[in-house]
Chains A and B, each alone.
Chain A
């Protein structure tokens, strides 16, 4: 079965850039979406179709996808960005989520 791997945790200082990777076989051939989840809350879409931001998502969130790796970048990270982040893709019409990354803003 298809798998998406993410680092368990990423730490970042306020105002700095956080990069969260999502790795999978030929992931660049698929569309990736990213979801932010804060404790006790439902996931929220922050990036879709690799690079697009939904309405209401700050410009500091951006995405890329090439080769075997998709990356979610948070520029000028703020304390409110502390959360779990999950990537997601479809493989032969089967939904697959990444293992999840906890972003800590120190």
Chain B
């Protein structure tokens, strides 16, 4: 059974960089697209970006200037970095596997809450 586990600091100061890692177990990272999705408290889901195992990426235009994804196939990990965070970036951050030729999200991590506050 494929499992995704997000990890990283739960508290980040304004203007600093948010760094999260998604570790995939029970399956290979190869052959799939991996996305980051966030959900501010009490609000809806927002797609952040995706990356393939080969390094192909695409970003939400509203976040593109601040977000970078990377993949480490040897560790089965996908990472997210978001710079210059503000309180508006406070959210539960999920990683999810996108599969098939239409890229639906079939596996999700449990999510990790990141609070931006001084």
Contacts and interface: CB of A to CB of B under 8 A. Distances in A.
Interface of A: 1, 31, 33, 35, 42-45, 48-49, 54, 86, 88, 90, 93-100
Contacts of B105: 33, 35, 43, 45, 88
A90 B105 CA distance: 12
A40 B69 CA distance: 26
A49 B104 contact: yes
Closest 8 CB pairs of A and B: A95-B47, A48-B104, A33-B104, A31-B102, A97-B45, A42-B108, A100-B44, A93-B58
A61 to B, nearest CB: 14
Contacts of B46: 97
A54 B105 CA distance: 11
Contacts of B104: 31, 33, 45, 48-49, 88
Contacts of B58: 93-94
Given A43-B94, A88-B104, A94-B47, 15 more contacts: A35-B45, A43-B96, A49-B100, A54-B106, A86-B44, A86-B45, A90-B103, A94-B58, A94-B61, A95-B35, A95-B60, A96-B47, A97-B37, A97-B46, A98-B44
Nearest to A47: B104
A70 B58 CA distance: 25
B50 to A, nearest CB: 7
Nearest to A89: B102
Given A1-B61, A42-B94, A48-B100, A97 B44 contact: yes
A96 B103 CA distance: 12
A87 B105 CA distance: 11
